[in-house]
Amino acid sequence: MLPNLKEEKLDPRVKRTRNLILKSFEDLLAERNFESISVQDVTGKAQINRATFYSHFEDKYDLLNQWISQMFTQEIDKRMRDVCHYTHENLRNLILAVCEFLAGLHSDCAQPHQQFESLVETQIKNQIFDLLTHWLEETKASLPTEIPATVATWAIYGLASQYSHAKKRPVLHEFVNEALPLVAVNLEQFAQPA
Amino acid sequence: MLPNLKEEKLDPRVKRTRNLILKSFEDLLAERNFESISVQDVTGKAQINRATFYSHFEDKYDLLNQWISQMFTQEIDKRMRDVCHYTHENLRNLILAVCEFLAGLHSDCAQPHQQFESLVETQIKNQIFDLLTHWLEETKASLPTEIPATVATWAIYGLASQYSHAKKRPVLHEFVNEALPLVAVNLEQFAQPA
DNA sequence: TATTTTAGACGACATCTGTTGTTTAGAATA
DNA sequence: TATTCTAAACAACAGATGTCGTCTAAAATA
């Protein structure tokens, strides 16, 4: 299994093969639930030999991890390009981004399944935690960040997960307005002075 | 696959077979990581025909779900036998229970792996959420419980997970004292008047 | 341009999963 | 106690996974 190399030095065959696999995987996810998709399904659609798959991904779960990570990173980079510290507004936008991403996943992927959701959760929480930790460490106050970042990360993901699962989905901005104070309450100590 | 029947009416062969499987699974978990354990390993150790396994459990993941659920339910029942509403002290004991349970799982089970942890998480969070919701609904005030219970559930699990993974594990009571205010802050509205 | 390196195709294999129908044995009922 | 019902054993099967060594083709280097 190949390491995630920087794109500048990547053999074009590797790039091509990875992209074919990721794209085929995404297309299949839109039609069928994750559990029912086999490695043979993905490689067949990508017109790649099945054994080649294992040069790029450890297994189907690793494939999902890498796909989700790529998708979410792109989404966050798009919305939070120049954000480097905690504000109430940045937190709102982060919660909004996660809610929309998860809701989109629910719409775009047929019948999410427990293992699919668990893997998605792990990837996204890792990124939220890193982002929040980075924001909170930008404060001048040198406060410990680990426990507040942990609590906030899990709270954000929990709320977004609840939102994306809701049978009757609430109006997003109202939901975020209701949820935001419960996340923000532990983070205000990190807000930059005006 | 058999439904979870009440124990009074259960054919003794069913009880015996289930217990043999669960016990063998637990013994194997103490020696090897979850991913490396096959259904054949479990049924071989239990001296049960492999096909019989599938009359009781959907797959190995269902086995883990049921084992964890049973273990955690017993632990909570032991510690919170007569607790029916939210207090600061009950919340502290809940966080303590979850931290100890997860830390114990880390000690008793060889090399936890991502899917193992995800499944554990799902089971335990469900139980925390149900318990918290029950507590919060006991309040006289008729406040909406879903979002606070969600945030608290995820925060509790997140903190316990962090504690159980810590390389240098902090003193538990100190950790809980530090973490408790961040969880409690959103729940004090539900405390019973003295 | 020739050579070397690297990625992918290929066929084969062992192992495991989940399922099926039949037979045997244990438990419940008459 | 005999009969009926239910659970488990059993063998076999199809399908999927992950791996391996060899060959072919594309990319990089000299």
Question: What CATH architecture applies to the domain B62-190?
Answer: Orthogonal Bundle (1.10)
Q: For residue B116, what pLDDT is reported?
A: 84
Q: For residue B167, what pLDDT is reported?
A: 83
Q: Of B17, B16, B42, which is closest to residue B31 (Cα–Cα)?
A: B42
Closest chain B residue by Cα to residue A122: B118
Sign of the alpha-carbon torsion through A109, A111, A116, A121: positive
Report the nucleotide nearest the CA of residue A46, measured to C1': C8
Q: For residue B171, what pLDDT is reported?
A: 93
What single-letter amino acid sits at B193? Answer: P
Whether residues B151 and A178 touch (CB distance < 8 A) is answered with no
Please state at what angle helix A146-165 crosses helix B172-184, rounded to 10 degrees: 50
Whether residues B155 and A151 touch (CB distance < 8 A) is answered with yes
Report the nucleotide nearest the CA of residue B12, measured to C1': C27
Structure tokens, B70: 């049973």
Task: Tell me the nearest-neighbour CA distance from A2 into chain B, angstroms.
Answer: 20
Q: For residue A112, what pLDDT is reported?
A: 64
Q: Is A118 on the interface with B (CB under 8 A)?
A: yes
What CATH number labels B7-58? Answer: 1.10.10.60
- The domain limits of chain A are 7-58, 62-190
Q: What's the angle, vertex CA B102, arms to CA B101 and CA B103, rounded to 5?
A: 95
For residue range A88-132, list pLDDT tens digits in order.
Answer: 999 999 999 999 999 999 887 766 677 788 889 989 999 999 999
For residue A129, the chain B residues in CB contact (below 8 A) are none
Rounded CA–C1' distance between A45 and D30, in angstroms: 39
Q: For residue A118, what pLDDT is reported?
A: 86
Q: For residue B142, what pLDDT is reported?
A: 79
Asked if the model's pLDDT at residue A60 lies above 90, the reply is yes
Q: Of A83, A117, A88, A90, which is closest to residue A101 (Cα–Cα)?
A: A117
**Low-confidence residues of chain B: pLDDT under 70:** 1-8, 110-112, 140, 193-194
- What whole-number distance in Å separates Cα of residue B187 and Cα of residue A99? 23
- What whole-number distance in Å separates Cα of residue B75 and Cα of residue B127? 11
Q: For residue B109, what pLDDT is reported?
A: 77
Rounded CA–C1' distance between A75 and D29, in angstroms: 39
Q: Is B147 on the interface with A (CB under 8 A)?
A: yes
Give A19's pLDDT tier (boundaries 50, 70, 90).
Answer: very high
Sign of the alpha-carbon torsion through B98, B100, B103, B109: negative
If you average pLDDT over residues A83-89, what whole number do you get? 88
Q: For residue A82, what pLDDT is reported?
A: 80
If you average pLDDT over residues A6-29, what whole number do you get? 89
Q: For residue A111, what pLDDT is reported?
A: 64
Q: Of A178, A130, A180, A119, which is closest to residue A153 (Cα–Cα)?
A: A130
